[in-house]
Amino acid sequence: MPIKTYHLRYVALLVMVLCVGCQAGAKPAAPTLAPLPTPTAVPPPAWQDRDTYRAAMLEAAADDVTRIEAPTFYQIEAYVDITAHPPRVYAIQNTHYSNSTETTLDSIFFRLFPNKPGYGTALTLERVTAEGEEVELHFQSEGTALGVALPNPLPPGQSVDLHMEYDVTVPVENARGYGTFNYQGDILLLSNFFAMVAVHEDDGWNLSLAPDYGDPVFAETSFFTVELTVPQDMVVVTSGTTVDRRDNIGETTTWTCISGPMRDFMVVASDRFVQSSTAVGHIRLNSYYLPGHQQAGEQVLAYARDSLRAYQQSFGLYPFAELDVVEAPIQSGVEYPGLVVLAEQHYEHSGELTEFLVAHEVAHQWWYSMVGNDQVNVPWLDESLSNFSTIYYYEHTYGQARAELAFENFVARSYRQAKEEGRDGVVLQPVAAFAPQDYGPIVYGKGAVFFYELREKLGDATLLDILQDYFEDRKYKLAVPGDLLRVAEIVSGQELDGFYTEWILSAE
**The predicted structure's pLDDT at residue 35:** 54
Quote the CA–CA distance of 458 and 465 in Å, as a whole number. Answer: 11
197-218 mean pLDDT:
94
304 in Cβ contact with 291 (< 8 Å) = no
SS3 state of residue 41: coil
The dihedral through the CA atoms of 14, 17, 22, 27 has a sign that is negative
251-274 mean pLDDT:
98
SS3 state of residue 261: coil
Same fold, 48-363 and 380-504: no
SS3 state of residue 319: coil
Whether the per-residue pLDDT at 69 is higher than 90: the answer is yes
**The predicted structure's pLDDT at residue 41:** 60
SS3 state of residue 357: helix
Whether the per-residue pLDDT at 271 is higher than 60: the answer is yes
* Cβ-based neighbour number of residue 43 at 10 Å: 8
H helix or E strand, kind and range, residue 468: helix 460-474
pLDDT band at 13 (very low <50, low <70, confident <90, very high): very low
Q: 213, exposed or middle or buried, with CB in 10 Å at 0-12, 13-18, 19+?
A: middle
Which one has a higher pLDDT value, 2 or 486?
Answer: 486
156 in Cβ contact with 102 (< 8 Å) = yes
Question: CB neighbours of 429 closer than 8 A, spacing ≥ 6?
Answer: none
257 in Cβ contact with 226 (< 8 Å) = yes
Quote the CA–CA distance of 375 and 335 in Å, as a whole number. Answer: 12
Strands 322-328 and 339-343, sheet pairing? parallel
Quote the CA–CA distance of 88 and 86 in Å, as a whole number. Answer: 6
110 in Cβ contact with 196 (< 8 Å) = yes
396-405 mean pLDDT:
98
Whether the per-residue pLDDT at 3 is higher than 50: the answer is no
Which one has a higher pLDDT value, 26 or 414?
Answer: 414
Whether the per-residue pLDDT at 4 is higher than 80: the answer is no
Judged by average pLDDT, the poorest of 33-47, 105-119, 186-200, 258-272 is 33-47
Q: Which residues are registered as beta bridge partners of 457?
A: none
**The predicted structure's pLDDT at residue 89:** 98
317 in Cβ contact with 472 (< 8 Å) = no
Quote the CA–CA distance of 445 and 440 in Å, as a whole number. Answer: 6
What percent of the chain clears pLDDT 90, i.e. is strictly above it? 87
**The predicted structure's pLDDT at residue 176:** 82
439 in Cβ contact with 213 (< 8 Å) = yes
pLDDT band at 492 (very low <50, low <70, confident <90, very high): very high
Counting every residue, how long is the chain?
508
Tell me the DSSP string of 118-158: TS---EEEEEEEETTEE--EEEETTTTEEEEEEEEEE-TT-
Quote the CA–CA distance of 45 and 27 in Å, as a whole number. Answer: 51
Whether the per-residue pLDDT at 14 is higher than 80: the answer is no
Quote the CA–CA distance of 325 and 340 in Å, as a whole number. Answer: 5
Whether the per-residue pLDDT at 254 is higher than 60: the answer is yes
Whether the per-residue pLDDT at 283 is higher than 70: the answer is yes
Whether the per-residue pLDDT at 7 is higher than 80: the answer is no
pLDDT band at 1 (very low <50, low <70, confident <90, very high): very low
Structure letter (DSSP) for residue 507? -
What percent of the chain clears pLDDT 70, i.e. is strictly above it? 92
**The predicted structure's pLDDT at residue 19:** 35
The dotted CATH code for 380-504 is 1.10.390.10
Whether the per-residue pLDDT at 82 is higher than 90: the answer is yes
503 in Cβ contact with 449 (< 8 Å) = yes
Whether the per-residue pLDDT at 6 is higher than 50: the answer is no
pLDDT band at 38 (very low <50, low <70, confident <90, very high): low
How far apart, in Å, are the Cα atoms of 85 and each of 88, 171, 274?
A: 8, 9, 26
Of the chain, the end-to-end C-alpha distance in Å amounts to 126
161-179 mean pLDDT:
92
SS3 state of residue 208: coil
Residue closest to 309 by CA, chosen among 370, 351, 244, 365: 365
How far apart, in Å, are the Cα atoms of 375 and each of 109, 146, 372, 462?
A: 18, 20, 8, 27
Residue closest to 337 by CA, chosen among 439, 201, 224, 430: 224
Q: Where are the domains of the chain?
A: 48-363, 380-504
Whether the per-residue pLDDT at 21 is higher than 80: the answer is no
**The predicted structure's pLDDT at residue 25:** 42
Longest dimension (CA), the chain: 132
Mean residue pLDDT across the chain: 92
302-322 mean pLDDT:
98
Torsion (CA) 140, 146, 150, 151 in degrees, nearest 10 = 100
**The predicted structure's pLDDT at residue 403:** 98
Backbone angles phi, psi at 250, to 5 degrees: 100, 15
Domain 48-363, CATH among 3.30.1650.10, 2.40.170.20, 1.25.40.20, 2.60.40.1730: 2.60.40.1730
CA 105 vs. chain centroid, Å, equals 22
Global pTM reads 0.91
pLDDT tens digits, 423-479? 999 999 999 999 999 999 999 999 999 999 999 999 999 999 999 999 999 999 999
pLDDT tens digits, 389-398? 999 999 999 9
Question: CB neighbours of 165 closer than 8 A, spacing ≥ 6?
Answer: 91, 92, 93, 125, 126, 127, 128
